[in-house]
Amino acid sequence: MPGTSELSHVTSASGTSPRVEELLAALSTEEKIGQLIQYFYFKFPENSAGGPLGDLAGQPRMVEEALTRGGAGSLLFVKDPAETNRLQRAAIDGSPHGIPVLFGFDVIHGLRTIFPVPIGLAASWNAELIERAQAVAATEARAVGIHWVFAPMVDIARDPRWGRIVEGAGEDPLLGSVVAAAQVRGFQGGILGAPGRVIAGPKHFAGYGAALGGRDYDEVDLSDQEFWNTYLPPFRAAVQAGAGNIMSAYMDLNGVPASGNRWLLTDVLRGALGFDGFVVTDANAARDLVTHHFAAGPADAAVRALTAGVDMEMTVADPAFGHLGAALADGRVSPGQLDESVRRILVLKDALGLFDRPFVDEDAAREVLARPAHRDAAQQAAEQAAVLLRNEGAALPLDAAALRRVAVIGPLADSARDTLGPWVFDHDLSETVTILDGIRAYLGDRAAVSYEPGIAAPVRTFPSMFDRWEPGHIAPGSDPAVALDRAVRSAADADVVIAVLGEQQDMIGEAASRCDLSLPGEQLELLEAVAATGTPVVLVLMSGRPLELRGAAATVPAVLQAWYPGTRGGAAVARLLFGDVTPAGKLPFTWPRGVGQVPMHHAVTRSHAPQEQGRRYWDEESTPLFPFGHGLSYARFAYRDLRVEPASGTADGAVTVTVELANVSDRDGTEVAQLYLHQRHGTSSRPLRQLKGFRRVELAAGAAETVTFTVGPDERRYWSAATRGWVTDASTFDVWVGGDATATLHAQFTVTAG
């Protein structure tokens, strides 16, 4: 897999063609503007009320009218192949020059086949696995007529209160960069227009994950060094991997809305990163420049967005870009600026072959969506994503042969919708394997499996903006005391309890931030009640962020973080619990003890009084419950003989770091060896530990392997606020290699100026 800087460089198919130039010369101003507008296409009832995305009554009719006059360049949220073909025909027939539309969709972690949520995929630390997962998603999407996906989300997230942490790769810029590049490669293939692939749309440019207080949509205030060193690298990796699209963000970045920020979208994205694809706003973000009190009105918003670097406006209705004709006439927008954005859209349509093959094969689409190999890939991903957080006394794996009665407890254990997680829109619940399903299928008639939810599924304090709420498993009017008593009696009669707890899928994601990270509702009380029976309890967590586990960790010996594991998630969890699969996932974020510690991450500077680093609070340790990179295994690993060669060198040279990794158990397993670096002195203070390399190593029982890393100028280079630019210092460097960010095996090397 890619190491520290081994990211794929793929040239995007952004060069223009004679066809595009001839078409561009023939288009009227109105047709050009139409190419820059993407409409949501919602099939809601005619009496739909307004909502956060606007008034939806009559919206489909309005969009279809725009299609008939060449007034739309793209549509969003169409997934039925017959409907795609119908609307494509309307667009081609309605356009004076027969231009097809791009169909976009939120394919975040699968279309019909649902993989673990992105934060779970990142926990595999397996770039090849992640690339395969998004290749499956791309194949299914392209088969139904989707050309473009609004993924991957590559925002760094260091505050788990932020609901969209579930969509990204966590806190670290290196891991985030490797995951971002893998997803782009999976979606797009080697080149834009590859058969069965789609345009990737990394989002949200940039800094969106640093919203104040973890509150979605709130402003972001980032120092330059954080922007360049932490939040930008995953976008750089996505661009280098060939991403054809970038989505601009909603929020203010340092006082300037991201979707109207020319420095951000032109100087940084196109200049510093070299991006040559097209930029789309997030939903209604161009018009929202007025909401920000940044633009004077919709016409001003359109000018500011386009001239900042936005090429396409995503909107529900009444696009701000509809005012661009007047702006062109009075000189606020130049013809060249308009043409450049239109050219970028047409180039992508040409690269995808839409002018020659605009329609999809509806029969072929059904076959692609039903492929068993896709479900197998989803199960493998769920098996590799799970993280074994705690396993005192080797409570796991469970011995199926020794069990006669198994009690499955908790409101999420038999919830197909929650097993899939958020951000799925074409799922098939009938084929989703819940954790209860998986355990029952695994044990068959070897053991009796009882199920009691114990409590009602928790309810959000405020309804979801997307109205995704589904009722809990206990019917209204049921007596909670009776339900809890049934769960306790079931636990008392069992040989083992498997408690499946966490957050329902609508409690996380967009507009789903939390100020409290405790287990929602009465789940902790349920866990404590079943544990009090004396029956051994294993906790399986379903969530997309760290939850408050101090009480739970004191109650149960084993905790498996399953994330939202997807279509075949229950089968994967069963194989993990019973030892057919050895857990190998590692945390992509730091797991705090409580919400009062956040934001918390591993790459902090030494600062004042380093001896007090773990005691910054007088009422709580300032160390995490589980460190970044943590993840246990049923196997045991030892790190030995760490070497750095040469021990000194020049600033433009590299050192080779080697370590022997041994499996010192009688069980095969996989370990993620992690290299952390610290620079002792230089132009700026540098973090105590930064992840600078990792390798995922499969080792048979008793086997050993030498793991090699290279630490060169790219790994030592950073942006310094002292010089307002990139530096590579002469210094002494500490190196640690181990299984998480607390690794103790240490070496050092020196870099000289000469």
Structure tokens at 30: 């109105």
| End-to-end alpha carbon distance in the chain | 33
Please compute Rg for the chain using Cα positions: 26
CB 625, CB 424: distance < 8 Å: no
For every residue of 643-655, which 3-state class applies, written as one string?
Answer: EEECCEEECCCCE
In whole angstroms, give the CA distance from residue 8 to residue 185: 8
User: Residue 426's closest CA among 202, 181, 149?
Assistant: 149
In whole angstroms, give the CA distance from residue 690 to residue 677: 5
Tell me if residue 230 falls in helix, strand or coil.
Answer: helix
In whole angstroms, give the CA distance from residue 123 to residue 539: 18
User: Residue 8's closest CA among 148, 147, 168, 188?
Assistant: 188
Kindly tell me the burial class for residue 193, based on how many C-beta atoms sit within 10 Å of its own C-beta (0-12, 13-18, 19 or more). buried
**Angle formed at CA 178 by CA 693 and CA 580, multiple of 5 degrees:** 85
* Residue showing tokens 């689409």: 365
In whole angstroms, give the CA distance from residue 623 to residue 519: 21
DSSP class of residue 100? P
**b (16+ CB within 10 A) / e for 154-184:** bbbbbbbbbbbbbbbbbbbbbbbbbbbbbbb
Report, as residue numbers or ranges, the catalytic residues.
282
How large is the greatest C-alpha to C-alpha distance in the chain, in angstroms?
81
In whole angstroms, give the CA distance from residue 621 to residue 518: 18
C-beta atoms surrounding 523 within 10 Å: 25
In whole angstroms, give the CA distance from residue 50 to residue 96: 33
User: Residue 657's closest CA among 748, 729, 740, 743?
Assistant: 748
In whole angstroms, give the CA distance from residue 391 to residue 397: 9
